[in-house]
Amino acid sequence: MPTRKPMLENSVFHIFNRSIAQFEIFRDEKDFERFIWMIRFFSIPQKRLSFSKLRRDYKEHHWREKIQSLAELFPSEIQIIAYCLMPTHFHLVVFQKKPYAISKFIKKLLASYTQYVNLKRNRKGPLWEGRFKHVLCETDEQLIHLTRYVHLNPVTAYLEDKPENWFASSYNEYLAEQPDMICNWDPFLKINSQHYKEFTENRVEYQRSLAKIKNLMLD
């Protein structure tokens, strides 16, 4: 089997993957929330706790505080710029600071979530459709358009009318500072919340039309 070329350090990538046979990997708010906090947890290097053990040992909301304190102690080798979770797949925009950092992060993230889903739903076997996909984002202009595309996914799929209504994305972080933020887009983007909202939501119908054309071509 051919090996993939290493992903460049000091580079931004669009990372995405989907479930096998369109299996619904996120079914309720707890599933979405768990994966979001797994993103935060597994972006932190040099830790000994497992995510499940941390949740057990630090009950209620204290486990979130523990993750944030770990993040301050151990600077990450990656930076999460944007994300969106959909029922059958996910999108991440990630800056890689060191070689192989994204691969190590994704491997742990997907393996841990697979274990969680299999245990919760009494299933066995793989959950994901092979290796994760990645696309290099080469300019800041590409990056701002990429974040818009990622944040519009729920609206394009008619799951919501407005992107801010979708719980499982970083869009609301871009509109206003949120408690326990996952993303950091500095120094790549300078976000004015009102301008970004207009920039994103003015594209809704166009992105929906592109999705329809894509589906027709696939049919």
Does position 1 have pLDDT exceeding 60, yes or no? no
Q: Report the CATH number of the 11-218 domain.
A: 3.30.70.1290
pLDDT in tens, 97-155: 999 999 999 999 999 999 999 999 999 999 999 889 999 999 999 999 999 999 999 99
Whole-angstrom distance, CA of residue 88 vs CA of residue 17:
9
Question: Distance between terminal CA atoms of the chain?
Answer: 30
Whole-angstrom distance, CA of residue 63 vs CA of residue 138:
36
Does position 3 have pLDDT exceeding 80, yes or no? no
Does position 211 have pLDDT exceeding 90, yes or no? no
Res 150: pLDDT: 96
Q: What is the mean pLDDT of residues 63-89?
A: 90
More confident residue, 57 or 159: 159
Res 70: pLDDT: 83
pLDDT in tens, 6-65: 688 889 999 999 999 899 999 999 999 999 999 999 998 866 678 888 888 887 668 888
Question: Domains of the chain: which residue ranges?
Answer: 11-218
Give me the sheet containing 133-137, strands edge to edge.
78-86, 89-96, 11-18, 133-137
Question: 149, 150, 106: which is closest to 128 by C-alpha?
Answer: 106
More confident residue, 77 or 212: 77
Whole-angstrom distance, CA of residue 90 vs CA of residue 16:
6
Burial 24-59 (b: 16+ CB within 10 A, else e): ebbeeeebbebbbbbbbbbbbeeeebebeebbeeee
Does position 4 have pLDDT exceeding 60, yes or no? no
pLDDT-wise least confident of 57-66, 130-139, 196-205, 210-219? 210-219
Whole-angstrom distance, CA of residue 148 vs CA of residue 171:
9
pLDDT in tens, 82-92: 999 999 999 99
Does position 168 have pLDDT exceeding 70, yes or no? yes
Res 47: pLDDT: 62
Question: 56, 49, 81: which is closest to 151 by C-alpha?
Answer: 81
